[in-house]
Amino acid sequence: MQEGLLPILVLSTSLFAAAVMFLISERSAALRNTVNLLAATVQFLLVVWMALRVLGEAQYETRLSIVAGIDLVLRADALGIMFVGLSSLLWLCTTIYAIGYLEGSPNCTRFFGFFGLCVASTIGIALAGNLFTFLLFYEFLTLSTYPLVVHHGTDKALRAGRIYLIYTLGGGILLLLGVAALYAYVGNVEFDAGAMMPIEDETLFPALSWIFALLIAGLGVKAALVPLHSWLPAAMVAPAPVSALLHAVAVVKAGAFGIVRVIYDVYGITFAWHLGLLEPLAVLAAITILYGSLRALTQTDLKRRLAFSTVSQVSYIALGIALFGPLGTVGALAHLIHQGLMKITLFFCAGNYAETLHISRIDQLDGVGRRMPVTSAAFTIGAFGMIGLPPTAGFISKWYLGLGALDAGAGWAVAVLIASGLLNAAYFLPPLYRIWFGQRTEPWPEGNFPRWCETSPWLLLPTSITAIMSLIAGLLAAMPFSPLYWADVVVGRAYLQ
């Protein structure tokens, strides 16, 4: 296989699945499920192969000239592999989940068509080799996720869709302005660690600082940085597989991943620090972490509580990067993966409760652990990870973020992490108490599944897999190919530039 073709082949698997979905009949459920599962499996295997080769210093790049001086570039570097690995793995898990969740529902073919386009957009973002390619797929992600947010077609869903479009298209305009302005000053920007460090003309520094603000604002919408976060809780009206995808990999992670790219591969971490751009970003991330946690405390709806938890947790990535040090960056990049595994588990669990027992509020969770023990055990693992209790993956992330803060002399960031952990406990422990120790006075509805299975196997299998993976990511953090290991590889290569 020619190495230049592999990135486009990985992207094409999602596009192929989406194209088939738009061509087949709604009644062709068996064909729909087979194509989706086959495409997701093939893509994951291709990414694993590519990851092993990239670890051995292999180079993968697909380049297509668009106009003079601007190319469409797909490139697999160590950072891109981290994100594309998460995307392909969770696409497979979410596909399995969505098959069970949407069984018998209308418009499944349309759903999976846009679902495939959403994943393709995320893959394109992960493998983008320059700022133009990133912008292209970033905007395509907005357009492909809107139909998923409004899938149910209710007034509430349509209102949430309008809010989503207003925020994300507005963010896209800011990002476009930043990219255009940067092109005017420095030309086409390839993703390369420390790319802009050679700039010595100090008269450009104020303009570059404003451009940085535009780029971060545009990316901060999808990353749900305060005050650009309000679309995320509103989007919880979407089906559970969409919520899981939005929070774990597709949208919020695209924004966070873009922030990492801008700091490391556009401006360069040292140059960004020299311009004084990192400290304001760290302060904004800290505010978002605390604000999201405080808002989560007040939510009675389970999915909305998880949504505000995402607002808080994703900003750990921006905080770690902005600390200006290798340990903080390792923690941030590890959390990119860890948070995805934990949060998709929690949303899968919320979907299981809703589909099986029609539970949507926290006060309805009393005693559900005895009725749905596997789902509840998975929810517990995810919640403990979000709190940061050992030996979960969340503990590993926060440990390295704390070390990074100390290494950078940012004691205030350690205080933010401690406060956030206490707030996380405050909004996750009460639901866990209800799940395992609450007493229900009325019998549970029987549902359509045997009691030993507790819910559809299509729903239970991916929930169990992601919960186990989030636990293993913490227990075996020091092992090769763990998220922490990959974060070390990325940071090591970046700091050697």
Q: Is the distance from CB of 96 to CB of 462 less than 8 angstroms?
A: yes
- Number of structural domains (the chain) is 2
pLDDT digits (tens, 9 = 90+) for 461-474: 999 999 999 999 99
Distance CA 71, CA 69 (A): 7
What is the tens place of the pLDDT at every residue in 299-313?
999 999 999 999 999
| Whole-angstrom distance, CA of residue 342 vs CA of residue 387 | 11
* Confidence check: pLDDT of 70 > 90: no
Integer Cα distance of 353 and 358 in angstroms: 6
pLDDT tens for residues 13-29?
A: 999 999 999 999 888 88
Domain final residue, candidates 266, 294, 320: 266
Q: 435 vs 127, 243, 387, 423, CA distance in Å?
A: 41, 22, 17, 19
CA distance 468 to 381: 8
The confidence score (pLDDT) of residue 427 equals 95
- 223 and 352 co-located in one domain: no
In a domain, 413, yes or no: yes
In a domain, 271, yes or no: no
Same domain, residue pair 2 and 115: yes
Helix crossing, 393-407 with 373-387: angle to 10°?
0
* Residue 313 and residue 254 in one domain: no
In this predicted structure, the answer to whether residue 314 has a pLDDT above a threshold of 80 is: yes
234 is in which domain, residue-wise?
Answer: 1-266
Confidence of residue 1 (pLDDT cuts 50, 70, 90): very low
Confidence of residue 152 (pLDDT cuts 50, 70, 90): confident
In a domain, 272, yes or no: no
Question: Higher confidence at residue 1 or residue 154?
Answer: 154
Q: What is the pLDDT of residues 155-177, one digit of tens each?
A: 888 998 899 999 999 999 999 99
Write down how long the chain is.
Answer: 497
Tokens of 45: 């295997």
345-404 confidence digits (pLDDT tens):
999 999 999 988 889 999 999 999 999 999 999 999 999 999 999 999 999 999 999 999
For residue 7, cis peptide bond before it (omega within 30 degrees of 0): no
Task: Classify the phi-psi angles of 358: left when phi > 0, otherwise alpha if psi is within -120 to 50, otherwise beta.
Answer: left
Tens of pLDDT, residue by residue over 431-444, are 999 999 998 888 87
pLDDT in tens, 94-141: 999 999 888 878 888 999 999 999 999 999 999 999 999 999 999 999
Say whether both 231 and 292 belong to one domain: no
For residues 482 and 457, membership in a common domain is answered with: yes
178 vs 106: which has the higher pLDDT: 178
Confidence grade of residue 449 (pLDDT, cut at 50, 70, 90): low
Q: Report whether the peptide linkage leading into residue 241 is cis, meaning its omega lies within 30 degrees of zero.
A: no
Please classify residue 201 by burial: count the beta carbons closer than 10 Å to its beta carbon, then call 0-12 exposed, 13-18 middle and 19+ buried.
Answer: exposed
Question: Do 445 and 480 share a domain, yes or no?
Answer: yes
- Tokens at 363, concatenated: 């006060």
Question: Computed over its alpha carbons, how large is the radius of gyration of the chain?
Answer: 21
Residues 364 and 480 in one domain: yes
pLDDT at 496 > cutoff 80 = no
Find the DSSP H helices in 70-194. Answer: 78-101, 108-127, 131-149, 155-186
Scanning the structure block, which residue is given the tokens 């205080």? Answer: 415
Q: Report the distance separating Cα 63 and Cα 69, nearest Å.
A: 12
pLDDT at 219: 95
What would the pLDDT profile of 248-290 be if each residue is shown by its tens digit? Answer: 778 888 999 999 999 988 988 888 898 999 999 999 999 999 9
In a domain, 351, yes or no: yes
305, 260: one domain: no
Both tokens of residue 116?
Answer: 């495939």
Q: What average pLDDT score do residues 192-200 get? A: 58
Cβ-Cβ contacts under 8 Å for 238 (sequence gap 6 or more): 148, 149, 150, 151, 152, 157, 160, 246
Query: Is residue 346 located within the same domain as residue 242?
Result: no
Reduced to 3 states, what is the DSSP secondary structure of residue 53?
Answer: helix
pLDDT at residue 106, rounded to an integer:
84
Whether the predicted pLDDT of 67 surpasses 80:
no
Asked if 293 and 392 sit in the same domain, the reply is yes
266, 298, 316 - which closes a domain: 266
Q: What percent of the chain has pLDDT over 70?
A: 95
- 225: in domain: yes
pLDDT in the model for residue 497: 47
**Residue linked to tokens 């949407």:** 102
In a domain, 147, yes or no: yes
CA distance 328 to 322: 8
341 in the same domain as 412: yes
Question: Where among 266, 285, 308 does a domain terminate?
Answer: 266
Within a domain: residue 354?
yes
Q: Are residues 243 and 340 in the same domain?
A: no
